[in-house]
Structure 1
Amino acid sequence: MWFSIVVALPDAFPTLCLFMFCKVNRAEFTVNSQPQVIGSSQPIIAAPGYDVILPCHLEPAIDVQGFTVEWSKPDLKPDPSDRLSRVEYVHLYRDRREVPDMKIPSYIRRTALFTDDMKHGNISLKIMNVTSEDEGRYKCFIPKLRSPVKFSIVRLVVDPAVPDASAAPLSISVLVCHVVVGIPYLMTTILLVFICRDKRRGENQSSCMRHKPRRNHGDGLNNKTTHSS
């Protein structure tokens, strides 16, 4: 036996559906328009002794110069000898300046943010003179960011087998330096060669003029007289 059920919908149902659809779309737009912390999805590989940049930024870009930015190593456990169990940072930026008091000792004077670019949402971290101890995961975190995505993880790999990327630019720079310095000497040498050649040519012409016998008009008359007699 089949039953048919008829549901009576109010006349305002289409308007209600449209209102709910607009509310949902507006909520999705609000979430998508909120800035999100985005780091590199690929590991950053560097050779020991070189500087490295751990890329991280906000998308869409906003000015974060007035925000607190924390770079830490989430896999690094607090020091058990620290009675306060303080969390030490790789780099801590607060009140528009670096706060070195809570910094991991091995990173002192080795890290920096691009503070001029923070107004464009750039919160990348530069680590100078990397060592094998720096390898691991790094967390970039903005605590007071109004967004569901306030942090990102960037992995650093320190590999001695990484080829020296600075060798080629260094050779080119040295070559350019030699060319720039050598061109004036080359031009001077060429100019001196032309001057000496012209000078010698002039001396040869003067010498030829001095040794060229002059024609005696009197001798010509005497010869004519002799032949006529």
Structure 2
Amino acid sequence: MVLLRGFELLSSCLLLLVLLTLLTAHRTEAREPPLVIGSGGPIRAAPGDDIILPCHLEPKYNVEGLTVEWSKPDLEADPAERLSRVEYVHLYRDRREVPDMKIRSYLRRTELFTDDLKDGNISLKIKNVTLADRGTYRCFIPKLKSPVTASTVQLVVAPQSNQSFMEDMTPHPTKIPNPEEHEETDVAGARFHLLALIPVAVCVLLILVVGVAACLHKRKPLKQNYAVDPTSPLTA
């Protein structure tokens, strides 16, 4: 009896352990894989600026133990460096930077935010950018188990990054009125007003003419009443 109860207790524990293992595996499989995401638009800078090329994993994922590569795909390889396999703007491997694999012009000018690697932040900082730094950059995690392991960021370096701001601040020339043009405008306006008064004057003149004619017409019958008839006899 005691053995039977012990066997039932052991069976229940094993069943619970199996269920917990299956539930944990299901949650692990259901978790979304981290995706490498770069910048949504170009990064603009002027020569001499320190800039950050944004790139991160979403959702957050610890990449401290993985390799992180920053390269420049559109950069033509230097024949002197091609034999030594120097092809990276920045290389992070075995939890440290590998400067021997960096392009010469980026030595001591790039760095990762190593304290944020545990949160999936693989953004690259470039110090004292030059015109030669402009172009497309690629952040890549080769051993990441994800459908998206790389992304690109565009860097634009202009000699005068604030040129548009300076153009907005430049005062625009103000047109000085020409006195002759002003006089011509006044004369034209006076002529217009005179022309507009002509119909009014004509109407007033017509009204006066009609009024005078009406008065003369009314006075004619009065003169006939006081006229002397030549055939009537004269009284003494």
Q: Per the shorter chain, which TM-score range?
A: 0.5 to 0.7
Instruction: State the match for 1:56 in structure 2.
Output: 55
> How far is 1:86 from its partner?
1.8
> How far is 1:162 from its partner?
1.9
> How far is 1:41 from its partner?
2.0
Instruction: State the match for 1:92 in structure 2.
Output: 91
CA distance in 1, matches of 2:147, 2:78: 30
Which 4+ residue blocks in structure 1 deviate beyond 2 angstroms?
A: 29-32, 77-85
Is residue 78–residue 86 contact of structure 1 (8 Å, CA) maintained in 2? no
TM-score with structure 1 setting the length: 0.56
Alignment of 1:59-70 (within 5 A): 59-70=58-69
Is the partner of 2:79 in helix, strand or coil? Answer: coil
Is residue 39–residue 54 contact of structure 2 (8 Å, CA) maintained in 1? yes
Q: Kindly provide the CA deviation profile for residues 179-201 of structure 1, in whole angstroms up to 9, marking residues without a partner as x.
A: xxxxxxxxxxxxxxxxxxxxxxx
> How far is 1:30 from its partner?
5.4
> How far is 1:78 from its partner?
2.7
Q: Kindly provide the CA deviation profile for residues 13-49 of structure 1, in whole angstroms up to 9, marking residues without a partner as x.
A: xxxxxxxxxxxxx9xx958700010000200001110
CA distance in 2, matches of 1:41, 1:51: 19
Instruction: State the match for 2:116 in structure 1.
Output: 117
AA aligned opposite 1:133: A
Is the partner of 1:155 in helix, strand or coil? Answer: strand
Q: Kindly provide the CA deviation profile for residues 53-101 of structure 1, in whole angstroms up to 9, marking residues without a partner as x.
A: 0000000111111110000000123333456372510000001110000
CA distance in 2, matches of 1:42, 1:31: 31
Is the partner of 2:118 in helix, strand or coil? Answer: helix
The verdict on how the C-alpha distance between 1:87 and 1:104 changes in structure 2, with shifts beyond 3 A counting, is: closer
CA distance in 2, matches of 1:135, 1:78: 15
Instruction: State the match for 2:136 in structure 1.
Output: 137
The verdict on how the C-alpha distance between 1:85 and 1:109 changes in structure 2, with shifts beyond 3 A counting, is: closer
CA distance in 1, matches of 2:136, 2:63: 23
AA aligned opposite 1:48: P
AA aligned opposite 2:162: P
Instruction: State the match for 2:74 in structure 1.
Output: 75
Instruction: State the match for 1:37 in structure 2.
Output: 36
Instruction: Using the TM superposition, name which of 59-68 and 74-83 deviates more.
Output: 74-83
- CA RMSD of superposed structures (Å): 2.2
CA distance in 1, matches of 2:30, 2:107: 37
Is the partner of 2:41 in helix, strand or coil? Answer: coil
CA distance in 1, matches of 2:77, 2:85: 7
User: Does 2:126 correspond to 1:127?
Assistant: yes
Is the partner of 2:115 in helix, strand or coil? Answer: helix
Gaps in structure 1 of 5+ consecutive residues:
1-25, 165-229
Is the partner of 1:160 in helix, strand or coil? Answer: coil
Alignment of 1:19-30 (within 5 A): none
Is residue 89–residue 103 contact of structure 1 (8 Å, CA) maintained in 2? yes
CA distance in 2, matches of 1:81, 1:121: 35
Number of equivalences: 137
> How far is 1:159 from its partner?
1.4
Instruction: State the match for 2:156 in structure 1.
Output: 157
> How far is 1:160 from its partner?
2.4
Gaps in structure 2 of 5+ consecutive residues:
1-25, 164-236
